[in-house]
Homo-oligomer: A and B are copies of this chain.
Amino acid sequence: MLHEALSGRRLTRLEYEHALPVLQDELLDAQFELRKSRPRAVAVIVTGIPGAGRSEVVNELLGWLDPKFVTVYGFREPNEVERERPPLWRYWRVMPPKGRIAILHAGWYQDFLGASVREPGRAPVVVRREVERIRNLERMLVADGVAVVKLHLHVGPELQRRRLRRHFADKTTRWRVTAEDHWYARHYQRVERALEHCLAVTHQPCAPWQVIDGTDREHRALEVGRALLAGIQGSLGSRPARPDLPPAAQLSRRAARVRLPATHPGARVAEEDYDRRLEELQGRLALLSRRRRFAKHSVVVVFEGMDAAGKGGAIRRITAALDARQYRVVPISAPTPEELARPYLWRFWFQLPPRGNYTIFDRSWYGRVLVERVHRLAARADWQRAYAEINEFERELTEHRTIVAKFWMSVSPAEQLARFRERDRNPLKRFKVDPQDWRNRRQWRSYQQAAREMIALTDTRHAPWVIVPSDDKRHARLAVLRALCERIESVID
């Protein structure tokens, strides 16, 4: 039992008043370093049973730190906007940038702990997946420079009852005791068993749980402060293990099997044909997007491909079929300073569509394993772990009834050159050409290799890639529309 393992240590007032200034001094130093020399972020999760002093502890921390760089978040039942996104979305939204500390009351443990305590009979497969999601999230955060400090405050059953009773008896503090607190106290054993199990399965070396004895106010405060100090200083937990990549030989075999043809068999699509078929496919997509079943889903469309492969043109043929209130097109370029200060998936989480809507990404999170890899903008370890992180991200989307459609627009070097030249000649397309584009072109083979490995490693059942031969623009646009319709139909029917 958790409470039997508590240290029960107490501090005298003198010991406390001696130790506190030293600790606070170190905390302020560490917080300063956090912003200056080696910017990192800290996410502090505080959980605890009623009567163990959760809120007091958070208030104490706020009194010790420089509050300009700390934010406290509590979470209610998810609202409409949150319910329409994957469960972790609302925690991504409050992810602190480098240099800041976020203190989250329960944070991403909120739903998991609540359900585990209240509904002990949940299906093991559901619980396992929730645990996996949390573990993956924390591993990614730590790898991306966010220290995750997880504190659980605990007290034994007698002390809990005594504290609640005392608060409840005094009319000036009665408001502190909620109906939920009473329920927890009445079911102490069951609650403790459930919590103990939750802590055990979500404990991991890179984000360990620390159980804090809430018995003695002073001792508790110092323990919490020290745990936070270790988190800020980065001396808490170990580096997360890298997600496994397949062995090099196997990966290169799998990548070699990925074909990226730029032309399709058969004749080019004639203009008259094109107009009719385009209108038909747009009608099909429009009707699909108005179906009652569609309103329970949302759609994320990803376009990747070399410059001038026809991504923008294909996107405009999709949006022409949609109600303006139903989609958003998000062009992805280099991240802003605001975005660079967060884990790299942060800016994409922000753009997830509500139910019944589309978000169309003109380039995407795959930049991590394409441009950032080829031009060495990301460290090898970072882009290598991205495959697993991306698969997890897309899995969370599809688990939440978001349809994911990914297109690789495949153009040949000759056709790309012809399009660059045409753009150079046409002053009205000048914004489409960029010295960067020519530079990328010189790295053609590296990009193709990166694309093949990317497709080999992220072509999943829930989010498969569609490779679109794109030398014939008309054919490519029709192919995209058709594949998108089929993908949506396959999910909603």
Contacts and interface: CB of A to CB of B under 8 A. Distances in A.
A25 B172 contact: no
Nearest to A28: B431
A151 B113 CA distance: 53
Contacts of A331: 67-68
A323 B67 CA distance: 19
A361 to B, nearest CB: 13
Given A175-B287, A431-B28, A431-B66, A72 B324 contact: yes
A171 interface: yes
A324 B73 CA distance: 7
Contact of A316 (B62, B279, B280, B312): B62
Given A25-B427, A79-B81, A279-B172, A316 B59 contact: yes
A319 interface: yes
Interface string A395-439: 000000000000000000000000000000001101110000000
A76 B331 CA distance: 22
Contacts of A230: none
A67 B338 CA distance: 22
A60 B328 CA distance: 17
A87 B407 CA distance: 38
Contacts of A282: 172
A202 B55 CA distance: 50
B283 A354 contact: no
B428 A25 contact: yes
Most buried by B among A66, A320, A430, A431: A431
A333 interface: yes
Contact of A175 (B286, B428, B432): B286
A320 B59 contact: yes
B59 A279 contact: no
Given A79-B354, A283-B175, A428 B337 contact: no
A21 interface: yes
Interface string A17-54: 00001001100100110000000000000000000000
Given A171-B283, A172-B276, A176-B286, 18 more contacts: A21-B428, A28-B430, A31-B431, A59-B316, A59-B320, A67-B312, A67-B331, A68-B331, A68-B333, A71-B328, A73-B328, A74-B323, A74-B325, A80-B81, A173-B279, A173-B283, A174-B283, A175-B290
6 contacts: A21-B428, A72-B324, A75-B325, A172-B283, A175-B290, A176-B286
The list of the 10 closest CB pairs from A to B, nearest first, reads A74-B325, A74-B324, A80-B80, A66-B431, A175-B286, A172-B279, A81-B81, A105-B324, A172-B283, A76-B325
Interface of A: 21, 24-25, 28, 31-32, 55, 58-59, 62-64, 66-68, 71-76, 79-81, 105, 171-176, 276, 279-280, 282-283, 286-287, 290, 312, 316, 319-320, 323-326, 328-329, 331, 333, 336-338, 354, 427-428, 430-432
